[in-house]
Amino acid sequence: MTLLIIGVVVLLLVFYAIGIYNKLVRLTTLVEEGWSGIDVQLKKRYSLIPNLVETVKGYAKHEQETFEKVVNARNLAQSATTLEGHQAAENQLNKALVNLFALAEQYPELKANQNFLKLQEELSVIEQDIEKSRRYYNGTVREKNILVDSFPSNILANIFGFIKSKFFELDNEAKRVLPQVKF
């Protein structure tokens, strides 16, 4: 009888460990999926930026430095390979886009251009989608990190090499605000 009780307890512990392991695998996959969603939205944004720059260039030809900053920031963001690299590049790109839109304010004809207005609207939608993707990603990271840190799941996480994931955050509160793209 004692052997049967010990066997049942061991079996329950094994099933519990399998459940925790599967949950860690699921959360790791969800984190990867979340990052993939952010990546898709960022690529859409990067594709839109050259069209936006070209439209503004037609009206403000002498503002070459601003255009170069936007293009360089876009290229840097596109080539980022780490989460930290993406965060830094996105901060720089947001600053450059804010400067581009501030420049556009000086040209009333540009603000009335239908192509510019369409690009501005598309960028605004993409920015909102990036924010939604970021929230989903950070939520899955939070769930995974809680499981990796919590007892007794942290024991299995260490045994099987699961590590905490990093949040996708901007540097400070002022940069957390999406660039205003309305005119």
Model confidence at 171: pLDDT above 70: no
Model confidence at 12: pLDDT above 90: yes
Closest Cα to residue 144, out of 20, 16, 18? 20
Q: Helices 83-104 and 114-149: crossing angle, nearest 10°?
A: 150
Q: What is the pLDDT of residue 178?
A: 54
Q: What is the distance, to the nearest Å, from the Cα of residue 126 to the centroid of all Cα atoms in its chain?
A: 12
Q: What is the pLDDT of residue 181?
A: 55
Q: What tens digit of pLDDT does each residue of 104-121 get?
A: 888 888 877 888 888 889
Give the span between the Cα atoms of 164 and 145, in whole angstroms: 5
One-letter identity of residue 123: L
| Torsion, CA 141, CA 142, CA 143, CA 147, rounded to 10 | 100
**Cβ contact 38:134 at 8 Å:** yes
Question: 143: Cβ–Cβ under 8 A, 6 or more apart, which residues?
Answer: 27, 30
pLDDT confidence band for 73 (50 / 70 / 90)? very high
**Cβ contact 49:70 at 8 Å:** yes
Q: What is the pLDDT of residue 133?
A: 95
**pTM beyond 0.85:** no
CATH fold label, 24-176: de novo design (two linked rop proteins) (1.20.1440)
- For the beta carbon of residue 142, count every other beta carbon within 10 angstroms: 14
The overall average pLDDT reported for the chain is 88
Model confidence at 175: pLDDT above 50: no
Dump strand ranges (E) for 61-174.
none
